[in-house]
Structure 1
Amino acid sequence: MPPYCLRAAATNGLCIMLAPLSAHADFVRDSKASVELRNVYINRDYHQANAPQNLSEEWAQGFVLRMASGYTEGLIGVGVDALGKLGVKLDASRDRRGTGLLPYGASQEPVDDYSNLGLTAKLRVSRTVLKVGTLQPLLPVVSYNDGRLLPSTYSGALLTSHDIEGLILNAGRLKEENLRDASSNDPIGYAGVESDHLDLAGGTYAVSPQLAATYYVAQMADIYRQHFVGLVHDLPLGEGMNLRSDLRYFDTQEQGDKALRAPTRVDGGKIDNRFFNGMLTLTVGAQKFAVGYQNLSGDGDFPFPGRDPYSINLVTASVFNKAETDAWQVRYDYNFAAMGIPGLTFMTRYVDGRHVNTATVKHGREWERDTDLVYTVQSGPLKNVNLRLRNSSFRSSSGLTNDFDESRVIIGYSLALW
């Protein structure tokens, strides 16, 4: 499916839905559309003799078309959004598959292209919005993934309210997910076990300009119930200096018969999990120095939908969520604008996980090192083109997972259509 076909399909579908409402000026005047282009090359070199393959290497081009209307006039405003996604293979083969850029079937051959089109109806009353259809939530209990070629999505309903000053409330039910490397919408679930839906409710309150408190509860039907509490505090230390504290705590319990089929600790224990993680970040002018820590206790891995847990150790290769994992992270960021090179940034981090338990390993260890160099063109015909160079290394105890070194080259550009 060529890019122009994807754009035409999304445009036609949106226009059909908007036709009865086109007389409303706000609906049309406040509409916007953009297309994001992302070119991604990934090379992953495995180091273990028993690895299923020595190399994963793929190159692909992604197109993401976003269209959002305004709202009709009146007490209840109505609108509609559309999200079209297309991934195209540039170079990949059966013996080099598995980077997460492209799906493959029983033949193990990466597909030539894959796509998905999602529509979202939205209703607004005052500062409260209900969205039904394709969603991309970024919440502690569920987040979409945007770490490869195309972003993932969920399907369901999500209510978001800003009516109370300083308080953001969310409540919703999600039933399906479209993974980052798939065309289909599949039932939501955890670790290969499908669930009928995920219910969630909670919000964030700005206690002061420097302190925000968050609470959420989520229940994946017949699998688990999860509570989250978080605090984020900014402490100004003087001109150009700030200390941010980001503290997160989850308590997850088994809920229903399907939990018995989800991964639990090797002793057969139930899902009964506590997960604390937090990070302190000191900003000094163009530099950031950060240190983070996590403690995961109870039975089994930390459960979450999709691919992205709300964790400080959500990094490039691993998420450090295996049972009993304690982990430290150190991170350094630098913005070269301070040296007269605006648009150029650098990041490096190291995560060390200990006491990892799986069905085959006791008190294992795994570590990861990531380095990013990013440049955004500031002017000229290539203005806003973004180039990211990323290098990662991952090592673990024998039996945990495969060791590898990985390089990525990502070129991105977003163009406003109107």
Structure 2
Amino acid sequence: MLKTPIARGVALATLGATLAIPTMAQAAFVDDSKVNLELRNFYFNGDNRQDDAAQSKAEEWAQGFILRAESGYTEGTVGFGVDALGLLGVKLDSGRGRVGTGLLPANDNGAPDEFSSLGLTAKAKISNTVLKVGTIEPKNMAISRSDSRVVPQVFTGTQIVSNEIDGLTLDAGYINQVNNRNSSDYEDLGASLNGGAIAAGNEIDDFIFAGASYKLLKNLTGSYYYSNLEEAYKQHSFNLIHVLPLGENQSLKTDLRYARSTDDGSSTVDNKAYGAMVTYSVSGHSFGLGYQEMNGDTGFAYVGGGTDPYLVNYVMIGADFAKANEESWQARYDYNFAAMGIPGLTFMTRYVTGDNFGADGRGKEWERDTDIGYVFQEGSLKNLGIKWRNGTYRSNADREIDQNRLIVSYTIPLM
């Protein structure tokens, strides 16, 4: 962990010099390189709405700096390169009794003034196959890193992605540690089991995944992934996505998902997850209807620590709507104002309701979310993005929450 801004600057400058050295011998290494700095300002306000809650309010404000340096590849049959990721979160406002937003680390004294980390990735490329070792950011059906706070979640491990056959993508990897969105340190993996359990004393050390995505027809793509979180679960995931053109500026998208999760080691995981989302789009408007059902002794299982599970009803606050035996519906509407001559302005609202969970089967929960975002298209503020996210969550089995998030982001290309 880098302790001070000076130390961070020295480390990142050293990294930049290291990336520049190969220019004398390998032009492609630097010619295809790119470096950018994303500035992300994030305000989070959460009202837990109960006077007797352990913490009735979560409110923090932070500034994030995300520096990405990606080299090209050396020449030859096997090309080699290196990537770097520097993450820095700075506290702008927080306090004891207001922590827990996920923006900043939390301790007995509140939140520290800053947190940071540096990740390095070695990579090799043969034809259309790329191998990465070190810091990786997988985003697939088996595991998807979260990027919904001031800095993203990242992992350490190995990932190989191959696109040698037209229309076919092969993806496999191994992960052994995670650096969460509000942390400077890499930690062992955890699990979100939704009612499952792992025997005491069993440690989670390894996560493996392997999958394929294939374009079966022009408008039909099928995917399959196998994954195993040691001592927690084994999972088979299937997905079909079909887009049916219906004429000028119209389409119907169907997204079907199924996952079978079973125990591993001495865990108790047993779940079948069904999901479907149908979206009709016309002239900037999108109308979606989703359904999700959990069957089995436990709910949906996935890697913990803030990862994004591959579920149609995974949303902002209530998260996954994936408790044992839960059934949930979603209605969603999106509008892209580019259709009426205002490019960069977008709107989304959705409502999700779930029931039939809990010991007596009487558990109910619902959530309503609204996003409004704008990205400046020209002028001195070009590419500056502003997004306001509002959410309301209610449940007869959990706390009630109202949330507002305001995110301002801007990416500066440095190379």
| Structure 1 segment 387-398 matched on structure 2, within 5 A | 387-397=386-396
Matched, 1:235 2:248: no
Q: Which residue of 1 aligns with 2:92?
A: 90
Secondary structure of residue in 1 paired with 2:303 = coil
Q: Which residue of 2 aligns with 1:216?
A: 225
The alpha-carbon distance between structure 1 residues 4 and 244, as it changes in their structure 2 partners (threshold 3 A), is farther
Secondary structure of residue in 2 paired with 1:123 = strand
Contact 1:211 1:233 survives alignment (8 Å):
yes
- CA deviations 1:380-406 (Å, max 9, x no partner) are 111110010111100001xx3210111
Task: Decide which moves more: 1-10 or 108-117.
Answer: 1-10
Question: Unpaired runs of 5+ in structure 1?
Answer: 260-269
Q: Which residue of 2 aligns with 1:166?
A: 167
Which letter maps to 1:388?
A: K
Looking at structure 1, the residues matched to 9 and 147 of structure 2 have their Cα atoms a distance apart, in angstroms, of 20
- CA deviations 1:291-311 (Å, max 9, x no partner) are 000001112221101321011
Query: How far 1:322 moved relative to its partner?
Result: 1.6
The alpha-carbon distance between structure 1 residues 108 and 277, as it changes in their structure 2 partners (threshold 3 A), is farther
Identical counterparts, % of pairs: 45
The alpha-carbon distance between structure 1 residues 67 and 276, as it changes in their structure 2 partners (threshold 3 A), is same
* RMSD, matched Cα: 1.7
Matched, 1:368 2:370: no
Looking at structure 1, the residues matched to 75 and 127 of structure 2 have their Cα atoms a distance apart, in angstroms, of 11
Q: Which residue of 1 aligns with 2:273?
A: 275
Looking at structure 2, the residues matched to 310 and 174 of structure 1 have their Cα atoms a distance apart, in angstroms, of 18
Secondary structure of residue in 2 paired with 1:26 = helix
- CA deviations 1:368-389 (Å, max 9, x no partner) are 0001110111111111100101
Looking at structure 1, the residues matched to 412 and 84 of structure 2 have their Cα atoms a distance apart, in angstroms, of 16
The alpha-carbon distance between structure 1 residues 173 and 357, as it changes in their structure 2 partners (threshold 3 A), is same
The alpha-carbon distance between structure 1 residues 14 and 92, as it changes in their structure 2 partners (threshold 3 A), is same
TM-score (norm 2): 0.93
The alpha-carbon distance between structure 1 residues 281 and 11, as it changes in their structure 2 partners (threshold 3 A), is farther
TM-score (norm 1): 0.93
Looking at structure 2, the residues matched to 276 and 161 of structure 1 have their Cα atoms a distance apart, in angstroms, of 28
- CA deviations 1:72-108 (Å, max 9, x no partner) are 0001100000001000000000111111111112x14
Q: Which residue of 2 aligns with 1:262?
A: none
Contact 2:347 2:373 survives alignment (8 Å):
yes
Contact 2:19 2:71 survives alignment (8 Å):
no
Matched, 1:198 2:207: yes
Looking at structure 2, the residues matched to 24 and 252 of structure 1 have their Cα atoms a distance apart, in angstroms, of 47
Looking at structure 2, the residues matched to 2 and 93 of structure 1 have their Cα atoms a distance apart, in angstroms, of 21
Secondary structure of residue in 1 paired with 2:121 = strand
Secondary structure of residue in 1 paired with 2:296 = strand
Contact 1:14 1:82 survives alignment (8 Å):
no
Secondary structure of residue in 2 paired with 1:143 = coil
Matched, 1:148 2:149: yes
The alpha-carbon distance between structure 1 residues 82 and 22, as it changes in their structure 2 partners (threshold 3 A), is farther
Q: Which residue of 2 aligns with 1:23?
A: 25
The alpha-carbon distance between structure 1 residues 302 and 239, as it changes in their structure 2 partners (threshold 3 A), is same
Looking at structure 2, the residues matched to 161 and 343 of structure 1 have their Cα atoms a distance apart, in angstroms, of 33
| Structure 1 segment 4-403 matched on structure 2, within 5 A | 6-16=8-18, 19=21, 22-105=24-107, 107-191=108-192, 194-257=203-266, 259=267, 270-306=268-304, 307=306, 308-318=308-318, 319-357=320-358, 362-397=361-396, 400-403=397-400
Query: How far 1:10 moved relative to its partner?
Result: 2.6
Task: Decide which moves more: 209-218 or 401-410.
Answer: 401-410
Which letter maps to 1:150?
A: V
Looking at structure 2, the residues matched to 233 and 302 of structure 1 have their Cα atoms a distance apart, in angstroms, of 24
Secondary structure of residue in 1 paired with 2:97 = helix
- CA deviations 1:150-179 (Å, max 9, x no partner) are 100011000110001110001111111111
Which letter maps to 1:385?
A: L
Which letter maps to 1:325?
A: E
Contact 2:270 2:299 survives alignment (8 Å):
no
Contact 1:389 1:408 survives alignment (8 Å):
yes
Secondary structure of residue in 2 paired with 1:368 = strand
Secondary structure of residue in 2 paired with 1:139 = coil
> 4+ residue runs of structure 1 moved beyond 2 angstroms?
1-8, 13-22, 191-194
Contact 1:240 1:285 survives alignment (8 Å):
yes
Query: How far 1:357 moved relative to its partner?
Result: 2.1
